[in-house]
Amino acid sequence: MGTDFSKKGIGTKFIHAGVEPDASTGAIMTPIYQTSTYVQQAPGVNKGYEYARSQNPTRFALEAAFAAIENGKYGLAFSSGVAATDAVIKLLSPGDEVIAANDMYGGTYRLFTKVFERFGIKFIYVDTTNVANIAKAITPQTKLIWIETPTNPLMNITDIAAVAAIAKPANAILCVDNTFASPYLQNPLDLGADIVMHSATKYLGGHSDVIQGCLIMNDTELRDKLYFIQKSCGAVPGPQDCFLVLRGIKTLHVRMQRHCENGEKIAHYLQSHPKVAKVWWCGFTDNPGYEVAKKQMRGFGGMMSFELKDGSPENTNRVLSSTKVFALAESLGGVESLINHPATMTHASIPREERIKNGLSDSLIRLSVGIEDVEDLIEDLETAIG
Ligand SMILES: *Cc1c(COP(=O)(O)O)cnc(C)c1O
């Protein structure tokens, strides 16, 4: 093993995490091992690599990087964020209960309600911003608590340490979807969570060119169970995709610094705009989750949502379709800025009544603020809002 980077600064850690010079050539970057199988010396006599669904050196380097950037012992890579979520739910059995946030990524909600409910797993949705709601929902069948903070798209904040304090005595696994914050802003394992999940498609990859997910954990037994599910169910990413995310992680801290700077400027610009009714961003001091966000995050990021005073479908659609630098697209966390309409795009899989009840209106507009020059981004919004 090379140098231990775990005690170094966050930037040093992100750049060196998981990558060792290639043993055969000294290549500084882990090569893309584009292979499905490995030649054995005799049956069962091999170098620890047998078949690429179970072992791949590029993936292993990435998995070590995932562990390092979340201050965890183990990382596991999956072919998408939802595949990583899917693996966590496969730890459960029929009759088990999951307490989940009532405001979370639409694809997670769809996976829970449309796929796993059919297998006899029960999901109880509560407002996790009030931790007492979780405590009240716990039963002897509760095996997993699933939270997302900040949430997509309303930027609600849940106190991770407070939920961990409830999960432990109940013997429930606490899994945190840390996609929005990224490991640059928040490390749930340090706050007592058992599993961190990421859609690596977003900030970790960072360049809108790959779909991938990951899980990070400290407990060896939990790692072994999840590794077994990873190889048995087979939702593993290919080596090309692993390489892209490994490369993305090296600039995560620099990108996040700029996402945070641009995010702060745009949130304040929108909030002072006469045609904007409300802005949801976790860095505003009057945001209900501000104190908790300040405590558990190192910054506030570049994700935000807003509503126009004229929130009619015509006006909302006009703004959504008229930006030139912000591209109208699903996804987030890439270097380029995106604008999105959650009600019809990212969150269309949540029934309308459910959505409205949780505060996600038809007129909500979500921004993933990229790392372009902020003046150009503000000018773009200024022209579009009109
Ligand atoms: C995108 C996203 C996911 C799903 O990840 P995929 O890589 O698209 O499968 C899960 N959670 C959050 C918060 C997301 O933004």
Ligand 1 atom at minimal distance to the Cα of residue 107: 4
Q: What confidence category does residue 282 fall into, taking pLDDT thresholds of 50, 70 and 90?
A: very high
- Number of domains, the chain: 2
pLDDT at 19: 86
Please identify which residue in the block is written with the tokens 């929005």. Answer: 180
Ligand 1 atom at minimal distance to the Cα of residue 200: 7
Give the gyration radius of the chain's Cα atoms: 21
Which residues share a beta bridge with 45?
42
In this structure, which amino acid lies at residue 78?
F
42 DSSP 8-state letter: B
CA 55 to chain CA centroid, Å, is 24
* Same domain membership, residue 149 and residue 87: yes
Q: Ligand 1 mean position to 90 CA, how many Å? A: 18
CA dist list (Å): 261 to 148, 265, 296, 369, 373: 23, 6, 19, 10, 10
* Same domain membership, residue 200 and residue 180: yes
Angle at 269 (CA atoms; ends 266, 272), nearest 5 degrees: 150
Ligand 1 atom at minimal distance to the Cα of residue 201: 7
pLDDT at 332: 96
Q: What confidence category does residue 354 fall into, taking pLDDT thresholds of 50, 70 and 90?
A: confident
Q: Ligand 1 mean position to 217 CA, how many Å? A: 18
Q: Ligand 1 mean position to 24 CA, how many Å? A: 36
Contact at 8 Å (CB) between 86 and 233?
yes
Which residue owns the Cα nearest ligand 1 atom 1? 199
Q: Ligand 1 mean position to 341 CA, how many Å? A: 16
* Same domain membership, residue 173 and residue 84: yes
* pLDDT surpassing 80 at residue 205: yes
Residues 227-234 have a mean pLDDT of: 98
Tell me whether residue 212 is in a domain: yes
pLDDT at 37: 97
* Same domain membership, residue 226 and residue 301: no
Which residue owns the Cα nearest ligand 1 atom 6? 81
Which residue owns the Cα nearest ligand 1 atom 12? 105
Angle at 178 (CA atoms; ends 168, 14), nearest 5 degrees: 110
- Ligand 1 neighbours (beta carbon < 6 A): 80-82, 105, 107-108, 148, 152, 177, 179-180, 199, 201-202, 211, 213
**CATH number of the domain enclosing 282:** 3.90.1150.10
Beta strand residue intervals within the chain, DSSP E: 74-78, 97-101, 122-126, 142-148, 173-177, 195-199, 213-217, 276-280, 303-308, 327-328, 338-340, 365-368
Tell me whether residue 5 is in a domain: no
Ligand 1 atom at minimal distance to the Cα of residue 331: 1
pLDDT at 100: 97
pLDDT at 2: 62
In this structure, which amino acid lies at residue 46?
N
Tell me whether residue 46 is in a domain: yes
Which residue owns the Cα nearest ligand 1 atom 2? 199
Contact at 8 Å (CB) between 64 and 203?
no
Mutate to test the pocket of ligand 1, among 79, 109, 146, 152 (most ligand atoms within 8 A of CB): 152
Which residue owns the Cα nearest ligand 1 atom 8? 81
* Same domain membership, residue 183 and residue 217: yes
pLDDT at 3: 75
pTM here is 0.96
**CATH number of the domain enclosing 242:** 3.40.640.10
Q: At what angle do helices 81-89 and 220-233 cross, to 10 degrees?
A: 110
Ligand 1 atom at minimal distance to the Cα of residue 152: 13
* Same domain membership, residue 322 and residue 238: no
CA 143, 234, 226, 243 torsion-angle sign: negative
* pLDDT surpassing 60 at residue 1: no
Tell me whether residue 4 is in a domain: no
In this structure, which amino acid lies at residue 188?
P
**What does the pLDDT look like over 317-346, one tens digit per residue?**
999 999 999 999 999 999 999 999 999 998
- The per-residue pLDDT of the chain, averaged, comes to 96
Q: Ligand 1 mean position to 155 CA, how many Å? A: 15
Ligand 1 atom at minimal distance to the Cα of residue 211: 7
Q: What is the extent of the structural domain holding 233? A: 10-250
Question: What span, in angstroms and rounded, lies between the C-alpha atoms of 202 and 347?
Answer: 16
pLDDT at 355: 87
Contact at 8 Å (CB) between 102 and 125?
yes
Q: What's phi and psi for 199, nearest 5 deg?
A: -85, 100
Which residue owns the Cα nearest ligand 1 atom 4? 81
Q: Ligand 1 mean position to 274 CA, how many Å? A: 33
Question: What span, in angstroms and rounded, lies between the C-alpha atoms of 318 and 383?
Answer: 11
Residues annotated as part of the active site: 53, 105, 177, 202
Tell me whether residue 2 is in a domain: no
Residues 101-109 have a mean pLDDT of: 90
Question: What span, in angstroms and rounded, lies between the C-alpha atoms of 363 and 316?
Answer: 6
Which among 60, 260, 297, 100 has a CA at the least distance from the CA of 183?
297
Q: Ligand 1 mean position to 103 CA, how many Å? A: 14
**What does the pLDDT look like over 6-36, one tens digit per residue?**
888 999 999 998 888 998 899 999 999 999 9
Contacts of 165 (CB under 8 A, 6+ apart): 192
Q: What's phi and psi for 270, nearest 5 deg?
A: -65, -40
Mutate to test the pocket of ligand 1, among 66, 82, 347 (most ligand atoms within 8 A of CB): 82
